[in-house]
Homo-oligomer: A and B are copies of this chain.
Amino acid sequence: MNLSNQRVKDVGEQGLLKILKRYCPQEIVGDDAAVLSIREGRCLVVTTDVLVDGVHFSDRTTAPEDVGWRAVAANLSDLAAMGADALGITVGLALPGEVAVNWVERVYQGMNDCLQKYDSVIYGGDVCRSSVMTVSITALGEVMPERVIRRNMAQPGDAIVITGYHGCSRGGLELLLQPEKGAHLTPQGREGLIQAHQRPNPRLDVLAPLWEVSNGRVGGMDSSDGLADAIVQICEVSGVGAYLEYDKIPIAPQLKLLGSFEEILDWVLYGGEDFELVLSLPYESAEALVKRLGEGAAIIGEIISSKTIELLDSQGVYPKRVLSLSAGFQHF
């Protein structure tokens, strides 16, 4: 095949990112955000996300406040994934002239609602005309150099920690698309899942307890593209593997009522947009962290030197599964 004739859709998002990384300094790419030294004892962390109407949100099914909240949450989650506290964001907005000014204001209101929760602000941005609404956010954060969390820092013997439930955002989406599926849920259970989808919380709150229980190496990233994706990415760049255990992955009680075990497990592993952190750290710190975080947080497995990534059942009820990145190859 002639490489020069390749289209973006032939190489996919991951393939294109790999090619474009050649144009960036090698020491600062490959994580959720770039880390820049700005002064003795402090690094600046910067991350960019682009959201497109009809791909990442729809102004027909999502309230504008929620579009804004989720866009900000995704970016702040990338900062949390690097161990960084949020400073602020810039917003680049491309939109058709037909869009109501009020719609745009409500998006900004949702952005500010999320930012205020984390003592953060909008620094400014740009607006321009386009036939497709596109929201591009760049978030800035700050971290001490010894507290940067990187994907490539997992080591065999590490515990794999998740900071909360997975699959709830996907469950909330299901309830929005097919409300009748929630017939068995309490109103609070239903609302909880819908909130998980519409108003996800980036886990910047995890950083303080994390550094209270750990003073050493912590690897990891966020689970915005799914729990399985995060584990596969961490293992790939760290040159390691992992095993997970079925019965150690916590599943939110209300989520279990939404479908078969197989269906729910698929949402938990591949649903995405839960914006939890997936961390790799020594067992002692991991256990102390999970205790601090409470419900939904858990040690779900261990990093191993063999490069396989498997989901096992010590009870022998469920079949062994091998996790892979294939589900992530879908953005084009």
**Interface residues in chain A, defined as those with a beta carbon under 8 Å from any beta carbon in chain B:** 3-11, 13, 16-17, 19-21, 23-25, 28-29, 33-34, 36, 38-39, 42, 44, 46-52, 55-56, 87-88, 90-102, 104-105, 108-109, 111-112, 121-132, 134, 136, 138, 140, 331-332
Contacts and interface: CB of A to CB of B under 8 A. Distances in A.
A122 B52 contact: no
Contact of A88 (B36, B94, B130, B331): B36
A132 B54 CA distance: 12
Contacts of A39: 38-39, 42
Contact of A10 (B17, B101, B104): B101
Contacts of A47: 90, 124
A23 B111 contact: yes
19 contacts: A7-B100, A8-B97, A13-B127, A13-B129, A16-B104, A16-B127, A23-B108, A28-B121, A34-B123, A36-B140, A38-B38, A44-B44, A46-B123, A46-B138, A48-B90, A50-B92, A129-B332, A131-B132, A136-B136
A126 B6 contact: no
A132 B46 CA distance: 25
Given A4-B102, A16-B104, A20-B108, 8 more contacts: A6-B102, A19-B105, A20-B127, A23-B108, A46-B90, A49-B126, A50-B93, A52-B94
A19 B122 contact: no
Nearest to A136: B136
Contacts of A23: 105, 108-109, 111-112, 122
Please indicate which of the listed interface residues A33, A112, A121 has the most CB atoms of chain B within 10 Å of its own CB: A121
A331 B97 CA distance: 9
A267 to B, nearest CB: 22
A1 B201 CA distance: 39
Contacts of A128: 13, 50-52, 55-56, 331
